[in-house]
Structure 1
Amino acid sequence: MNLHLKSSIVTLQSAISITGSKSETNRLLLLQALYPNLVLENTSNSDDSEVMTKALQSSDTSIDIHHAGTAMRFLTAFFSIQENREVVLTGSTRMKERPIKILVDALRQLGAEISYEENEGFPPIRIKGKKITQNKVSLSANVSSQYISALLLIAPKLENGLELTLEGEITSVPYIKMTLSLLNEIGVETSFAGNVISVKPKLITHNSQLITVESDWSSASYFYSIIALSAIGTKITLSSYKQNSLQGDSILAEIYKNFGVETTFQNNTILLKKTHNSQLITHNLELNNSPDIAQTIAVTCFGLGIGCHLTGLHTLKIKETDRLLALKNELEKLGAAVAISDDSLTLEPSRVIHPNIKIKTYQDHRMAMAFSPLALKTDIIIEEAEVVSKSYPAFWNDLKSIGFAISEF
């Protein structure tokens, strides 16, 4: 499905309800499978979370997680400790190109039994679940936080807990802290001192515990971009959000001040308001702790005619697509001058935006959503627009509700 987004004006005051964080939901779904007393509210309705739910409930010997990278990492760890259970974890063609070796090696260090079905270091993988008693493992600190979180999530079910040593400079700290905070919330004792993370074992309890998932800050990023590209005075209210969020992407509230967007927290909602036009020429940002919002920020800067230099983006090359290359390709079609390295993107300031450009999404939900706010500046076509269901199925309907003119093309 290709969508034509016509140059639009956002309704001056709008309200959107966004479902729970995909990152928090997927962590809590795994913990709920380990500790059935957990009751979850406001969970994500994303494809990724549905895949995670189905996989955890499945009794099949082969489980296909399609494009869901988080599910691949978390389930690799989960099935490693399911005694007397053997499964093959597989996924889409792209998933079979995404590395899993670092996590598999770490689990093997602990005693897990995992083998590769096709190519060494990549899915599909065969996992023979067993009781794991070893409790010490080392991992490079600059890898995807999902590898680290996968180990931490199963740690309280290991007989002797886990002592995880991270070697080198740690990246994506907020995602690690999110995992530890959720473990603490269900009563697991943890510590994070220097480069060593310790998790104590925890037995199952029978008292039910209700946990409400905070709405997704990554999904909020597209509305920050919309407000930044709108007229002064435009407002959008988003729910449900906490001022002291566990999500690293909540840094949006600080970053978008530079683009004239003011964030006000009110009773589990945030009010976004365009208060002034940005005077920036170029904006430099280090996004080690929040790489998922890099695409949104780059497109916002382009739409405003601002340059940017974004660093800390080394994990973007192994996402649904090589996001740095995809950003470069599509921004250049629109008239931008872009340079990328292994971990950075540089956009030159420019007031040129070519109209009616077809944006290729590369089966990446964030490409589709990050580019859509440009409809406030020019007509634009989003190819394979249905890909948003991976994290935000209601996205196009929500855009229509605030004034975007969208039709199938």
Structure 2
Amino acid sequence: MLLQVDPVDSFSGTFRVPSSKPETQRAILTGTLAEGTSRVFNDLRCDETETMKNACRAFGAKITEHDGFLEIQGIGQSFPNIRRVIQSRGSGLVFRIVTALASVQPSPVVVTGDATLRNRVMEPLLRALRELGADIESIVGENKAPVVNWGRGLKGGTCHLPGDISSQFITAVLFAAPLAEGPVEIEVTGEVYSQSYIRQTLASLTDAGIKVSASEDLRHYEVEPSAYQAQDVTTHEDYTSASYLLAAAALFPGRTVLSNVYGDSMQGEFAIVPILERLGVNVTFDRATSSLTVDNPPDSLCGTFEVDVRDCPNIVPTLAALGAYVRGSLRVTGGRLTRFHKASRIEAMAAELTRAGVDIEVLYDDGICDGFEVRGARTYPGGVTLSSWGDHRIFMSLFVAGLRMRSANRFSGFEDVRLSFPTFLEEFARAGVRTAAVEEENAPAEAVG
């Protein structure tokens, strides 16, 4: 199934930004591991937060959805004897955290996922957990998913992790470390990418009463055995999701208002706001109304720009889409981590935008795909079929890039917006974007928005 998307002449209106996926997932975890009742207000409800809830329910938590909040009855430190398979689907974060937490419960647990997850790198996490006393085996024998964790506990001690593959390895060990028999130290080698996600984890743990400390460079961590405390948490906007609406607003002169935006965020992807300002777009926060207003003058997106994305990797595809219309050039570096995501995102965006006629070049650092340089134009012919490479963020970014082309494009993977931004198509429909699902290139179209 493909999605045909017609271009538009303008983009304006009021749109709601989804709540933060990482904040919601971390709040679900701390509520699950606490004893007592926690509530998560303004939570995001999408496939990947549902996957996290189901995994936590498998550990024994009782999670109830109410209008505007979640209620969580946590399990504290008394993990039940569950003996079951836990499905992580395509979520790397769920797989990695569940694998770590399964070490401290009393019976074997198989942790698995879909085909995309089974191809992702897991070996550094499994090695680190084994250093702490966990008994884990990769069922396929390649240190990848699925795995069986025999549930023989974490003794504590020191483990070692790389900083340049995935911050989720560090987050997974940090969530399990307070439940170890003794103190845990984490030593990180190499440059630490995606630091904002690690800082979000540290803040979540500290707010939940965990005794954790980290060095300023985030290469050394110490965690004492401690109990999670029940609490109420309110999640705010998700800046990765907001980036698609912000990029669309930046492609057309006019005014756009985003709601459910509070303005204070630890998310690295908040960088999309100052990036737009550098590109000549005016962005104003109104904390009284929890909104953000974009005023885009006709002469924006013109000049020569360079952006380092080592702390905001999830907006790499968005920046490629935006860069296609920068009259001058946009050079993005520091994105090497994205080759470990659902798709190799730099290569994917470069391949698909090239298919659409965009002048984009992949940049390499020591032979590793690290970024891109794109020299934009006012518009492109369109009328092409573009692949999401099985990655919902590739689809959403290509969708935005197609809005200013001259003819309708067709895209694969549109169903996957449910993973993190389930109302994506509805929000863009508010701006008059017309879409239609088609079975194949010459099949009749069925309107979806």
Alpha-carbon deviation of 1:60? 6.2
- Indicate conservation of the 8 Å contact 1:47/1:390, yes or no: yes
Question: Are the equivalent residues in 2 in contact too, given 1:29–1:53 (CA < 8 A)?
Answer: yes
In structure 2, the residue corresponding to 1:226 is in which secondary structure?
helix
Match of 1:69 in 2: 92
Residue equivalent to 1:112: 134
- Asked if the contact 1:73–1:147 (Cα under 8 Å) also holds between the matched residues in 2, the reply is yes
Give the CA deviation at 1:317.
Answer: 1.0
Asked whether 1:291 is paired with 2:290, we answer no
Q: For residues 85 and 19 of structure 1, do their structure 2 counterparts lie closer, same or farther at Cα, with a shift above 3 Å needed?
A: farther
Cα distance in 2 for residues equivalent to 1:15 and 1:104 = 45
Q: Is the 8 A contact 2:167 2:193 kept in 1?
A: yes
- Once residues 10 and 273 of structure 2 are traced to their aligned partners in structure 1, the CA distance between those partners, rounded to angstroms, is 20
Give structure 2 stretches of 5+ with no counterpart.
59-81, 439-449
Report the counterpart of residue 238 of structure 1 in structure 2.
259
Whole-Å Cα distance in 1 between the matches of residues 292 and 401 of structure 2?
23
Residue 200 (structure 1) aligned to one of 211, 224, 235: 224
TM-score of the superposed pair, with normalisation by structure 1: 0.93
- Corresponding residue SS for 1:99: coil
Report matched runs for 1:8-407 at 5 Å: 8-10=8-10, 12=12, 14-36=13-35, 37-58=37-58, 59=82, 61-82=84-105, 84-193=106-215, 194=217, 195-205=219-229, 208-231=230-253, 233-241=254-262, 243-267=263-287, 268-278=290-300, 280-340=302-362, 341=364, 342-351=369-378, 353-378=380-405, 379-407=408-436
In the alignment, residue 255 of structure 1 is paired with which amino acid?
I
1:40-82 deviation per Cα after TM superposition (whole angstroms, max 9, x unaligned): 1122212111111112212562222221122111211121222
- The secondary structure found in structure 1 opposite 2:115 is coil
Any idea what the Cα deviations from partners look like across 1:174-233, whole Å, max 9, x if unmatched?
A: 11111111112222233222431223332254xx521011121100000110111011x3
CA contact (8 A) 2:193 2:337 kept: no
Q: Which moved more, 1:285-294 or 1:3-12?
A: 3-12
Deviation at 1:351, TM superposition (A): 4.5
2:281–2:300 Cα contact (<8 Å) kept: no
Which structure 1 segments of 5+ residues have no match? Answer: none
Give the fraction of aligned pairs with identical amino acids, expressed as a percent.
26
Offset at residue 2 of structure 1 (A): 1.9
Larger RCO of the pair (alpha carbons < 8 Å, separation 6+): 1
What CA distance in whole angstroms lies between the structure 2 residues aligned with 1:196 and 1:320? 28
Secondary structure in structure 1 of the residue aligned to 2:148: strand
Task: Classify 1:204/1:7 alpha carbon distance in 2 versus 1 (closer, same or farther; 3 Å).
Answer: closer
> Aligned in 2, Cα 1:183/1:204: closer, same or farther, shift over 3 Å?
closer
Please give the secondary structure, in 2, of the residue aligned with 1:339.
Answer: strand
Q: Matched residues in 1 for 2:330 and 2:271: separation?
A: 17
Deviations 1:223-269 (A, max 9, x none): 110111011x322223133x331211111111111233222221232
> Amino acid of the residue matched to residue 90 of structure 2?
H
Higher mean C-alpha deviation, range 333-342 or range 384-393: 333-342
Deviation at 1:5, TM superposition (A): 1.4
In 2: Cα distance, 1:88 partner to 1:189 partner? 29
- Matches of 2:336 and 2:345, distance apart in 1: 10
Q: Structure 2: how far apart are the matches of 1:47 and 1:101?
A: 25
Cα distance change on mapping 1:133 and 1:60 into 2, 3 Å: closer
Structure 2 contact 21–44 (Cα < 8 Å) conserved: yes
Contact 1:374 1:380 in 2 (8 A): no
- So what's the TM-score if we normalise by structure 2? 0.85
Give the aligned partner of residue 442 of structure 2.
none
- Cα distance in structure 1, aligned partners of 2:175 and 2:156: 16
Say if 2:382 and 2:402, in contact at 8 Å, map to a contact too. Answer: no
Between 129-138 and 143-152, the greater mean CA deviation after superposition: 129-138
- Compared with structure 1, are the counterparts of its residues 119 and 276 closer, same or farther at alpha carbon in structure 2 (3 Å cutoff)? farther
Aligned length in residues = 403
Deviates more, 1:174-183 or 1:163-172: 163-172
Query: 1:359, 1:305 → 2: CA distance?
Result: 23
State the one-letter code of the partner of 1:408. A
2:242 is paired with a residue whose SS is helix
Any idea what SS the aligned residue of 1:39 has? strand
Q: CA deviation at 1:281?
A: 3.4
Q: 1:354 to 1:305 in 2, by over 3 A?
A: farther
Give SS of 1:228's match.
Answer: helix
2:65 is aligned to none
Please say which of residues 319-328 and 108-117 is displaced more in the overlay.
319-328
CA distance, structure 1, for counterparts of residue 10 and residue 41 of structure 2: 31
Provide closer, same or farther for how the CA distance between residues 204 and 338 of structure 1 changes in structure 2, counting only shifts above 3 A: closer
